[in-house]
A and B are shown apart, each in its own frame.
Chain A
Amino acid sequence: MTTETSTRPDGSTTATAELEATATPTPRRIAGRPELLLERSTSYCPGCGHGVIHRLIAEVLGELGLGPRTIAVAPVGCAVFAYDYLGLDFVEAPHGRAPAVATGIRRVRPDAFVLTYQGDGDLAAIGTAEIVHAAGRGEAITAVFVNNGIYGMTGGQMAPTTLLGQRTTSTPLGRDRRLHGAPLPMTEMLAVLPGVAYAARGSVADPAAIGRTKAMLRRACEVQLAGSGFALVEVLSNCPVGWGMTPSESIRRLAEAVPVTYPPGVMKDVDKGIGVPAATRPEEG
């Protein structure tokens, strides 16, 4: 319980510390703010999924004790401010380049835990070369890929992951396959690469999905620690403002419409023999 009795940066003690002083001799913490999630209000819009995903990362890294050795790479987009909300060392990457930046860190800091956090414009549009080649090299990096199907920060334009028919400020008549192409299934595309050890798609649509997503994030961290290769977790998320919906409407869409194009699930887990066709199984040595 030593970590929970520590003093916060603002000088206040945690609720757990008070609990510890008065309650049973062996109190068990069942809820609370993860140590790595800093006590700040975020710049995210009401109902946005980034906050939940940040929290999941903070919980998983905290549970695995990885905070002190984590070097994280922030993207360009709404989530660039992740460095303001997570108590981790961060470097900011140019738009789309987080996997290359993480590669550089990986190669000179073999003991570090390396985490990237990217949105869909960052990873699936401007940064396709960087993500494909980092995954292809099998860099021991854990990549979090937040797919909310839109460019949120710039005002709601079409992303590579925007669903067919979806109206955005740059597809005012809806995404048309003949004009704009179909949504890119990045995680499926990356899962076939031999360097990828883990690829999964989760969601923050409801508490059960959030629980499964947390398990995926944890697995993606374990895969890096085991040195098995590149690990990717795509997280389906919502953007109420960009989608032109209330938060609850956006959650409904996230639960019902989005998984039709982007079905959640674990696509690959090399260490568990999941989703590894013989043809793509990495050679030994």
Chain B
Amino acid sequence: MTTLTGPARPDALPAPGPAAPERILMKGNEALAEAAIQAGCDAYFGYPITPQAELLEWMARRMPELGRAFVQAESELGAINMGLGAAATGARVLVSTSSPGFSLMAEAMSYLAGSEIPLVLVNVMRGGPGLGSIGPAQADYLQAVKGHGHGDYRVPVLAPTSIDEAMELMADGFELGEQYRTPVIILLDGILGQAIEPVTGRFRNPERRPGDWEISGADGRPPRVVKSLHLQPEALEAHNLHLQAKFARIAEREVRWAGEALEDAEVVIVAYGTAARVARTAVAQARAAGLRVGLFRPITLWPFPEKELRALAGRVRGLLVVELSAGQLVEDVRLAVEGGTTVLHHGRTGGMVPSPAEVVTALRHLWSVTTPRGGSLAGASLEAEADPFSLVEAGMWAAAGHPLPEPPAGEPGEPDPLSLVDDADWIHFRETCRERDQGPGHGSDRAHDAFHQPVGPRPAGGTLR
């Protein structure tokens, strides 16, 4: 990864090895759970679903230790509505799920947005549609970003690319939610939920901002009602305009993204989450082969960094969107650049993950069909450098009467396509695992013990921290 020449990676992992004793190996789901606890989460509600279940299990263990609320609900409907009730009293609430459960939580997300109740929802995406698979996917992008439940509303969507970043975004999520009185989604794929990697545990407990809306009992003040019903059209329109003004403020102030190797890039990959991890390897490989490639990584999927992407589009040959989906993020990228450059898509679905080699092939294809400074596909020969793995290209290829190429079998000497961590990280991981395996107890015990601090009984009176 030394060939990267862009700005410092904000999510860069610190150097591995014994020189960084503060680092600890954690599974993504468990790290997110602990980050929520350290961020002052008062209550967690969930329902078991793969590949998110370890988050629930971590909370089942830790929340009672701290005298905080944990309920395994009867369904995702139950879980998020428990969250709605607790959060309406001003509690800091986390719920988590994976894709099929996210669909069930969609109903309450609409009520939370309409009632302006802050809450953080983690969706560890798996393959769909339907029951799909338990493999990693980014197929809920449109659902998360464009709307889960009914009605006119938006919700901030934060997309981490490493477990460390996911932990930081957890605190940010609570803060954003409370600042704007809105639910917030943390969207990650099954790999980030399941992967174990070194984390630094940079925790943050955002300051509370008590408002004048939380329900606690009408004691010495007029009764409060937290609701989304406004039966009079004039009243509902006024409420919706208020919400829209809030969404506009969020869109103006809260856009986040990261760029890597963008200064001299002629072709740029747009990707988030695990796709961005694969893309990062592909950028290094492409640069080694002489292609000036960079990475643009949206961290907020809504609000989408459209201005930044549009500015970038004006100075590159093209953009390659890499996703674990058949093409969802690519729609926002195309909207953002408004035809300002060529946008191609490379995606795998159903739990499949693109390999860096696939992405490099797609980059070569994009390079071959564009000219410097915003050329277009017009007149280019698709046959020359067709991306054999792109679903979109495969469709065009098949429509043109060509036989579909077989996906490549893993060749000896090729980089491991599923390798998402640097070699040094991998060695550190392997060694620590070996040490851990020799220890007693459940696989999570070491990590759990690192955070567990004996605490006294919960203070009487039931006041929230």
A16 CB-CB contact with B under 8 Å: no
| B227 lies within 8 A of A90 (CB) | yes
Residue of A nearest to B45 (CB): A104
Q: Which of A68, A69, A83, A94 has the most CB of B within 10 A?
A: A94
Chain B 264-308, CB-CB to A under 8 Å as 1, else 0, gives 000000000000000000000000000000000000000000000
> CB distance B82 to A107 under 8 Å?
yes
- B89 and A108: CB pair below 8 A? yes
Contact A107 B69 (CB under 8 A): yes
Q: Are B217 and A68 in contact (CB under 8 A)?
A: yes
A-B contact pairs, 13 of them (CB 8 A): A68-B218, A71-B215, A74-B227, A91-B84, A93-B111, A100-B74, A100-B77, A103-B78, A107-B69, A108-B462, A109-B216, A129-B74, A129-B75
Interface residue A101 (Cβ < 8 Å from any Cβ of B): yes
| Chain A: minimal CB distance from B295 (Å) | 40
From residue 373 to 415 of chain B, which have CB atoms closer than 8 A to chain A?
A: none
Which 10 A-B residue pairs are closest in the complex by CB-CB distance? A104-B85, A104-B86, A68-B219, A101-B85, A104-B82, A100-B81, A110-B462, A133-B74, A107-B69, A92-B227
Contact mask for chain B residues 43-81; partner A; CB cutoff 8 A; 1 contact, 0 none: 101000000000000000000000001010111011101
Chain B CB within 10 Å — which of A70, A105, A106 has the most?
A: A105
Contacts of B219 in A (CB 8 A): 68-69
Distance between Cα atoms of A94 and B69 in the complex (Å): 22
A249 within 8 A of B: no
Total interface residues on A, CB under 8 Å, equals 39
Instruction: Please report the C-alpha to C-alpha distance between residue A245 and residue B43 in the assembled complex, in whole angstroms.
Output: 48
- Say whether B91 faces chain A, with CB atoms less than 8 Å apart: yes
- Please pick, from B69, B82, B225, the residue contacting A92 in the complex, using a CB distance under 8 A: B225
Shortest C-beta distance, B458 to chain A (Å), equals 9
**Complexed CA–CA distance, A238 and B225 (Å):** 27
**Does A192 interact with chain B (Cβ within 8 Å)?**
no
Which residues of B from 185 to 240 have beta carbons under 8 Å from A? 215-220, 222-229
A104-B216 Cα distance, complex, nearest whole Å: 13
Judge whether B18 is part of the interface by a CB distance below 8 angstroms.
no
By beta carbon, the residue of chain B nearest A107 is B69
Do the beta carbons of B69 and A108 come within 8 Å of each other? Answer: yes
B172: interface (CB < 8 Å): no
A106: chain B residues within 8 A (beta carbon)? 85
Q: Does A88 contact B (CB under 8 A)?
A: yes
B73 touches A133 (CB 8 A): yes
Is there an interface contact between B461 and A111, defined as CB atoms closer than 8 Å?
Answer: yes
